[in-house]
């Protein structure tokens, strides 16, 4: 783990689906048949390269990244007839549905933007008392707009500033940038296999600095398995399997 940390702000994209649409349009991909492995790598690489993030959107990016990694992991794992394939399809289709829905709203917002810009150019009426009284008839119970005055605004400001100045401890949110990539972990695993020839799951976990490092190690194993660079021998018990270079596994 590095000591570099950065506040969360998104200078270019409004959210994770905006970023996914960018990759799809950039590579001219079919939104109904997204190559999950490719999109996942692009998505994770972008997050790692960002220097300034918006904290309110960081959790959304992490959630979508976790969803993509989950789908990719299920696609890479060897499947048996246990119903997991159907769950994988449901997860992928759910993500695609949300992405298509987001694209519809984005296009609609772009179509409405000229009306918004035109409205801002118009002069506001000086006397809107009648309009406010009409609004009051349908608003929720509470302090009406027409009853606001400078004194009440000052009291609200004073109360907010008092709470701000007397707060016990400032809250700081940071997101730690990890130095791991799937390619780096593949090379690390190849190096370990060149020494040990055969390695079990516990050894992989033991060589992981933290949970994030372990996830990258695990994804690297899955990708190497898909590329037929390694073979897996499954033993008895939970999480009991061995990996070895292709052709090294003995029955």
Half-sphere exposure of 60 (CA within 13 A, CB side): 16
Domain 178-245 CATH assignment equals 3.40.250.10 = no
What confidence category does residue 62 fall into, taking pLDDT thresholds of 50, 70 and 90?
confident
93-107, 120-134, 175-189, 216-230: the lowest-pLDDT one: 120-134
**What mean pLDDT is predicted for residues 5-30?**
69
At 2, the pLDDT band (50, 70, 90 cuts) reads very low
pLDDT at 50 over 70: no
Region of poorest pLDDT, from 14-23, 144-153, 215-224, 229-238: 144-153
Q: What are the tens digits of pLDDT across the range 113-138?
A: 888 777 777 656 555 666 666 666 65
Higher-confidence residue of 52 and 243: namely: 243
pLDDT of 44: 79
pLDDT of the residue at 251: 45
Q: What is the pLDDT of residues 63-100, one digit of tens each?
A: 777 788 777 777 776 655 555 555 555 677 888 888 88
* CATH 1.10.10.580 in the chain, residue ranges: 178-245
Q: What percent of the chain has pLDDT above 90?
A: 1
Annotate 37-50 with b (16+ C-beta within 10 A) or e (fewer).
Answer: bebbbbbbebbeeb
23 vs 249, higher pLDDT? 23
């Amino acid at each position: 783990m590095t000591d570099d940390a950065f506040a969360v702000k998104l200078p270019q994209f409004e959210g994770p689906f905006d970023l996914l649409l960018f990759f799809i349009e950039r590579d001219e991909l079919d939104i109904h048949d997204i190559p999950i492995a490719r999109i996942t790598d692009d998505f994770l690489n972008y997050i790692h390269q960002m220097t300034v993030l918006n904290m309110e959107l960081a959790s959304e990016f992490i959630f979508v990244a976790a969803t993509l990694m989950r789908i990719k992991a299920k696609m890479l794992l060897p499947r048996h007839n246990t119903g997991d394939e159907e769950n994988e399809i449901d997860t992928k289709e759910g993500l695609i549905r949300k992405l298509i829905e987001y694209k519809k709203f984005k296009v609609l917002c772009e179509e409405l933007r000229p009306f918004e810009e035109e409205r801002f150019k118009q002069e506001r009426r000086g006397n809107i008392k009648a309009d406010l009284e009409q609004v009051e008839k349908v608003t929720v119970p509470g302090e009406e707009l027409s009853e606001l005055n400078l004194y009440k605004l000052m009291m609200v400001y004073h109360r907010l500033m008092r709470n701000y100045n007397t707060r016990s401890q400032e809250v700081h949110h940071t997101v730690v940038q990890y130095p791991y990539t799937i390619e780096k972990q593949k090379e690390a695993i190849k190096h370990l296999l060149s020494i040990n020839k055969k390695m079990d799951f516990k050894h992989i976990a033991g060589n992981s600095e933290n949970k994030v490092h372990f996830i990258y190690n695990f994804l690297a194993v899955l990708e190497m398995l898909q590329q037929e660079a390694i073979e897996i021998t499954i033993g008895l018990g939970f999480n009991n399997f061995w990996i070895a270079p292709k052709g090294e596994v003995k029955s």
